[in-house]
C-alpha cells in the first residue's frame, strides 16, 4: 500500500512498478493476444477496481481472464485464499508474489494489484495501475465489444489528465494520507487537502453529470472506487470524517449514478472491502473487528442525475452482465 517517506509523519505511496506494456504492436515484447494474459485484482483494492471496471466496459471478459485475490493477507501481500485449495486456478500459485519473483527473483518493490500476468511463463508483465486502464481502452481495441466507450477521447485528454491528477493527489491517495499519517500535523494537512478537493468536486458535479465532457471518461473511473469505499472504510477507519458521502448531495448522487451504471457497481463487494481494511491494517485497527455497517442499500436509490443530460457511453452502449463466476453479492 505504500510507505512513510519523509520523516515528517506524512504518508508517501511507493509508485515504483513494472512499466512493461502489453500493446497491439508488441513493442515491449508482449503483444496483445486473446487468452494469453490474466488480470489479477482484489475486490478490496481501489486501484485494482479501476482495471476491473475498464475490462467490463470494454467487454474484454472473454479475451483477458480475471484472477481475484482475497481481501485478507499478511506481509507477503495478496493471496488466492478464496479459490479452491488456496491457489489461482489458472496460474496455480498461492501468492501473487510468486509471479513477481518469477519475473525478477530480487523484485524490491510492493506486490500490488492490479497486475497482468503472462500465463505461459507465469511472470508478471505489469502492475502499472495508471497505464493498465489506458491500454485496455486503446491497445486492446481489436478485441473490445461492439459499443465499447472511448474513455480517453483526444479532445478531452488535457482536461481528463488535469482532473484525474487532482483527484489522485488529494482524494484517491489523500484518504491514505489521512489514514496512515504518523503525526497530527501530517494528518491535519492531508485532511485539509482531501476536503478542499471534495468540496471542489461537489461544486463541479452540481451542474454536470460527469467530471469531463458529457460522457464517462477515465476521470470518472478513477474517482468512483474511492467514493464507493468512503463511508464503508475511509470515513471512520481513515479518519476522513468531516462528513459522510451520503451527506454530500451532488457527490452522493453522482456516485449512485455510476454505481447503477453497468460496469461500475457490479465490480463492488462491500464485504471484501471492509474485511481488507479492518483486518489487514492492524496498526489502525488492532482488534481486527469488522464493523457491521453502514447500510449499503441506499446505493440503489434513485439519483436523479439524468436531468443533467449526458450520455454515459457516448455513441456506444452499456456492457452486458458480468460472467456468472465474476458476479458480486447483491446488495441487501
Residues taking part in catalysis? 45, 176
Q: How far apart are CA 259 and CA 301, in angstroms?
A: 10
* Structure-block grid coordinates of residue 187: 494528518
Alpha carbons 193 and 178: distance in angstroms, whole number: 10
- Is the separation of the CB atoms in 210 and 149 below 8 Å? no
- Residues contacting 31, CB < 8 A, separation 6+: 22, 23, 24, 25
Going 222 to 228 to 231 to 233, the CA torsion angle's sign is negative
- The C-alpha angle with vertex 68 and arms to 320 and 300, in degrees rounded to 5, equals 45
Cβ atoms of 61 and 35 within 8 Å: the answer is no
How many whole angstroms separate alpha carbon 3 and alpha carbon 1?
A: 7
Amino acid at each position: 500500500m505504500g510507505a512513510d517517506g519523509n520523516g515528517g509523519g506524512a504518508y508517501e505511496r511507493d509508485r515504483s512498478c513494472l512499466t512493461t506494456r502489453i500493446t497491439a504492436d508488441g513493442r515491449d515484447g508482449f503483444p496483445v493476444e486473446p487468452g494469453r494474459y490474466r488480470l489479477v485484482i482484489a475486490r478490496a483494492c481501489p486501484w485494482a477496481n479501476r482495471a476491473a471496471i475498464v475490462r467490463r466496459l470494454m467487454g474484454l471478459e472473454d479475451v483477458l481472464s480475471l484472477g481475484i485475490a482475497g481481501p485478507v493477507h499478511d506481509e507477503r501481500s495478496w493471496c488466492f485464499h478464496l479459490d479452491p485449495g488456496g491457489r489461482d486456478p489458472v496460474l496455480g500459485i498461492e501468492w501473487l508474489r510468486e509471479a513477481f519473483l518469477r519475473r525478477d527473483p530480487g523484485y524490491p518493490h510492493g506486490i500490488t494489484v492490479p497486475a497482468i500476468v503472462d500465463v505461459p511463463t507465469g511472470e508478471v508483465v505489469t502492475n502499472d495501475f495508471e497505464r493498465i486502464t489506458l491500454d485496455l481502452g486503446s491497445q486492446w481495441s481489436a478485441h473490445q465489444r461492439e459499443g465499447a466507450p472511448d474513455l480517453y477521447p483526444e479532445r478531452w485528454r488535457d482536461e481528463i489528465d488535469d482532473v484525474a491528477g487532482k483527484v489522485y493527489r488529494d482524494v484517491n491517495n489523500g484518504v491514505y494520507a489521512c489514514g496512515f499519517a504518523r503525526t497530527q500535523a501530517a494528518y491535519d494537512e492531508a485532511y485539509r487537502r482531501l476536503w478542499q478537493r471534495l468540496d471542489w468536486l461537489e461544486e463541479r458535479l452540481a451542474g454536470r453529470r460527469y467530471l469531463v465532457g458529457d460522457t464517462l471518461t477515465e476521470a470518472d473511473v478513477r474517482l468512483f472506487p474511492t467514493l464507493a469505499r468512503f463511508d464503508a472504510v475511509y470515513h471512520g477507519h481513515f479518519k476522513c470524517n468531516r462528513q459522510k458521502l451520503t451527506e454530500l448531495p451532488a457527490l452522493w448522487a453522482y456516485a449512485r449514478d455510476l454505481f447503477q451504471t453497468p460496469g461500475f457497481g457490479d465490480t463492488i463487494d462491500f464485504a471484501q472491502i471492509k474485511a481488507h481494511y479492518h483486518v489487514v491494517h492492524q496498526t489502525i485497527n488492532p482488534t481486527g473487528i469488522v464493523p457491521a455497517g453502514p447500510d449499503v442499500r441506499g446505493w440503489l436509490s434513485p439519483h436523479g442525475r439524468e436531468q443533467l443530460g449526458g450520455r454515459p457511453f457516448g455513441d456506444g452502449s452499456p456492457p452486458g452482465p458480468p460472467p456468472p463466476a465474476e458476479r458480486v453479492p447483491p446488495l441487501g
